């Protein structure tokens, strides 16, 4: 019978297995960094990460994602109401408020990218107000 030595890395020592079990509080099968990133793929990703993961930072990012997406709803409703009021009161000038929708959308996208990046790096980056609530939600 042949005896095979474990695979070695460039330094000659046995290669370490890369498992998510190396990180305290993580769930087997999902790298916490991937979980932190997936948390920001809509509120559904946040909900899944919040409910299924044990890693505290992944749970935090899941909760913050849910709250961020919920917070965007009243912002867009308010923008729509302002646009309707200005259009009815000022006519063509009110139509210019439609420029606010893409501006707010770009800002929301920029914040989302920042959050997804921070989630992937498992950095505890809190949004004002929402981050405090997310910390409360993420606790067991």
Residue range 42-83, pLDDT digits in tens: 999 999 999 999 999 999 999 999 999 999 999 999 988 888
Residue 10 has pLDDT above 50, yes or no: no
Give the model's pLDDT for residue 85. 82
Residue with tokens 């009110």: 94
**DSSP code for 8:** B
Q: How far is CA 128 from the centre of its chain?
A: 15
d(CA 50, CA 139): 10
Q: How sure is the predictor about 94, in pLDDT bands with cuts at 50, 70 and 90?
A: low
| Percent of the chain whose predicted confidence (pLDDT) is above 90 | 61
Predicted local distance difference test score (pLDDT) of residue 101: 85
Maximal CA-CA distance, the chain: 89
Q: What is the overall mean pLDDT for the chain?
A: 83
Alpha carbon distance 134, 115 (integer Å)? 13
Residue 80 near residue 94, CB atoms below 8 Å: no
- Select the more confidently predicted residue: 85 or 67: 67
| Mean pLDDT in residue range 111-138 | 97
pLDDT value of position 90: 74
> Is pLDDT of 86 > 90?
no
């Amino acid at each position: 019978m042949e005896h095979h030595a474990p695979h070695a890395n460039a330094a000659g020592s046995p290669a370490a297995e890369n498992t998510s079990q190396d990180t305290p509080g993580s769930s087997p099968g999902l790298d916490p960094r991937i979980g932190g990133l997936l948390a920001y793929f809509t509120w559904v990703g946040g909900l899944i990460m919040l409910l299924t993961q044990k890693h505290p930072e992944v749970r935090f990012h899941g909760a913050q994602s849910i709250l961020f997406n919920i917070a965007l709803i009243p912002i867009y409703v308010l923008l729509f109401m302002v646009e309707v009021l200005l259009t009815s009161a000022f006519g063509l000038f009110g139509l210019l408020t439609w420029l606010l929708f893409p501006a707010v959308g770009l800002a929301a996208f920029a914040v989302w990218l920042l959050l997804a990046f921070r989630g992937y790096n498992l950095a505890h980056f809190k949004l004002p107000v929402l981050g405090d609530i997310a910390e409360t939600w993420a606790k067991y």
